[in-house]
Structure 1
């Protein structure tokens, strides 16, 4: 059975809202921050002003200042991180692998098996529970209120890097980069089959009509959200291929669904058919070898390896990279050994 928790962990697009407002013909001149406070749900003036300063509020496709006066028929576009939910999240003393932290953000290496945030019968043991505990040991920052600011997520059984905003300004600035696809994210994946050449997968991704737990790729924009994954071959290992995936968009199960759609499901991905022998021989020795690999890596072979973005305060480019975790590395080494000495396996 597929855990529902795996579904609520990926699509960063639903972590912030994109609003488009066409101003009425009869609108009197009014400062845009005051105008938006009346039009955007749960929007404080501070939240609106942070968005304006971050360049996340455009009028007629141009960034403006908070003093701008709204005029009739102006077209206003707004990108805002969703405010934290009202449900209380309890702090838990769970160890965190923090690569970097300052007053505005932190970079955490999430282990496989950890759900990112509470929900769907996973209200404890999540990354957010750990972050709430971690933040409790720091002075309160304006706009933070002790709650970690997620601007993107990765699946429960995917390992790797996440950036967390520690205040409203950082969340808004980072959310804008995710929305505009200027964040650089690279994943390492082991997939079934021999991928002949580098390429990309694109299409509209949405829930499968056959199985609501699974995402599928469609040609029809009415059936899903636009998605793009670029991939390149890192190492060919006979019946499997090690690839790098670079995301343009960040949809639920994007890499997993994309690779399955082109006949290369992720190794040991139970949701997308990778937890069986997809390519290879019929010999029992090979079957046992694959089973041993599954035991070493009891999850989909997907690791969020690198993350690059502009810092919300210093405006400097920041790049982070993390090596493969032990389970993925040991499985990969086993396949490398198989290719080098196939008759010994």
Structure 2
């Protein structure tokens, strides 16, 4: 039986005497099959421990490229840093590129820089475009696994998606609005930050289909653009707000909620229900003030733990994952906001 450990160490791991282990290793007589299996198992355990100790001394660099308003990017960075101590068996070092708006060419350039300097994994929140899909293919070809965060990138070579079940969130928003609004016609404003974020498209499609079934008397007014940034969101919304003469509800898929509320209130518009996404600081303040009715939330720390585990599995530092779990939506109200 081949091994590279002292007999005393194997004996300690197996709970046997050194003489017994010596007989097993040298295939001598008077050794039971069960004892031989114990020694074999002990060697495997020692090999696994050695691999973990070796990995703990190895630094793995993971890059985060995120296009999102600062209020959400801060949540991503905070969540990633909070779980680093719980991620074994490697020493993980995150590097962040966080911007409110990243045009397609900026994302491609960022991925090329990462390819050039090297990385053990890329966590990406970006638009779903042909150029970005090609950049992902080049990144994975360079041996860097890519995990998409919150919004997926379709038909790409990414390793996994982590984040919310976006279609489920859209259906949940439709259900809440349909249940809260009393009978009667009216308009529902559905806002997206950008047309190229696949996650928001999935939310919007599921929302529209479900609301049409539950409340065919309600008309969905779709608005997209502004990237969730206050001034740009207000400008986009100002172009359509004059036509909202029967507005009853808002479903905000891409943020900028303070700006949405301010723009509507400046035109004298009030809603019966406002559904938003993500418990960032701005939304926490708004729901505490009873200006939002529901927040569709998911656990970013859990999402990022899944991302790190996908990377470690790719590098064979932990057991291979069959699938990466997708987060289910949590419905938050002013009465159940976590501390």
TM-score (norm 1): 0.26
Over alpha carbons, which structure has the higher Rg? Answer: 2
Q: Give the structure with the higher percent helix.
A: 2
TM-score (norm 2): 0.27
